[in-house]
Structure 1
């Protein structure tokens, strides 16, 4: 896959909340998102055509900063910036589905958690780059012993993400109607994710 476009660069060191090394790719890390500092990068990403499924192309930098400030202060969600070689590379939203509209579309179980992610625009090809990113994101979530299952609801038209989700163990449940999209409700358990890693090693 590909790595980020360096049009906008922030190299300020931030404490990492999680880091993981991937063979042939390198280290990927997650830090708490800084709404003010990161809004320029996010605006650049969100307004590109490839990010249309993120549904924030209409937002200004100030609106993006305000959105993530509110999300981080909610008490039931958090946002993270992912870094590669010191550069902002992907964003992660992590949330309790009990406080999200997706929680109204299935029977919630103890240990459920939700996440969204978006990768920065491409700059150069790195085989397995996006797969390494989603593996880092899932490893970060499952490092919390309280999280037993992750739920996602990508736009039903987003075939690239559906294929990536399948590679890390997500099982599609059914289409659901959310306020802003028709989504494909999907789940992955801790064991299912780790089984994909073991299978990859064997292959």
Structure 2
């Protein structure tokens, strides 16, 4: 397994910025707000998307929201593809420019992340974990993160378990304007140590 990870790391470091980045079952590309909004809207209206806080948005509002992210200059949305079909969405951002940056001392190399996994076409054991590993490798190896920061809703127990399995260390709960967030961090070393334990 470590050999496979090393090969993926090399491929990610040298992948041109305009190309898709591959890891295992997935390819990751920049989100196209207008083209991808209908797909995201279908995902977001599902009951399981309650913590994403987008269930009441129209397709147009979803497109505007993600275009604003693209235009921000400090954040980016990405779409993970599996066999040519959208599989998951994640957002990367500079914590200095976001609410989370008000609650801790941001360090150089910190990248914030939000993840939304779309409905799987075929349910397979460990699917969400493979998604998470793929985007974490992308953040560390392609975007150059030194540490990844997350701030999920404190009530979202499923994501907390997955975060911890990926090597995140929880620091504290903080009060955001729209939620109580659990602030957690993961270094490159902690991530690779965590996934090595299971392989």
TM-score band by shorter chain is 0.7 to 0.9
Q: Give the corresponding residue for 2:60.
A: 62
Q: Give the corresponding residue for 1:92.
A: 90
1:79-105 deviation per Cα after TM superposition (whole angstroms, max 9, x unaligned): 011111111010011100000000000
Q: Which SS does the other structure have where 1:143 is aligned?
A: helix
1:152-178 deviation per Cα after TM superposition (whole angstroms, max 9, x unaligned): 011111111000111110011111111
Separation in 2 of the partners of 1:114 and 1:18?
20
Separation in 1 of the partners of 2:130 and 2:197?
15
| Pick aligned residue for 2:22 from 8, 19, 23 | 19
Cα–Cα, structure 1 residues 80 and 145, in superposed 2: closer, same or farther, change >3 Å?
closer
> 5+ residue gaps in structure 1?
1-14, 22-26
| Pick aligned residue for 1:51 from 41, 44, 49 | 49
| Pick aligned residue for 2:106 from 105, 108, 123 | 108
Asked which structure has the greater RCO (Cα within 8 Å, sep 6+), the reply is 1
Separation in 2 of the partners of 1:172 and 1:110?
19
Separation in 1 of the partners of 2:126 and 2:163?
14
Q: Give the corresponding residue for 1:5.
A: none
Pairing 1:147–2:145 present: yes
Separation in 2 of the partners of 1:87 and 1:167?
26
Separation in 2 of the partners of 1:32 and 1:145?
12
User: What RMSD in Å do the two structures reach over aligned CA positions?
Assistant: 1.3
Separation in 1 of the partners of 2:59 and 2:174?
30
Greater strand proportion: 1
Pairing 1:136–2:134 present: yes
- Using the TM superposition, give the Cα deviation of residue 70 of structure 1 relative to its aligned residue in structure 2, in angstroms: 1.2
Q: Give the corresponding residue for 2:10.
A: none
> 5+ residue gaps in structure 2?
1-17
- Using the TM superposition, give the Cα deviation of residue 18 of structure 1 relative to its aligned residue in structure 2, in angstroms: 1.8
- The normalised TM-score by structure 2 is 0.88
Paired residue total: 182
Separation in 1 of the partners of 2:68 and 2:143?
26
Divergent runs of 4+, >4 A: none
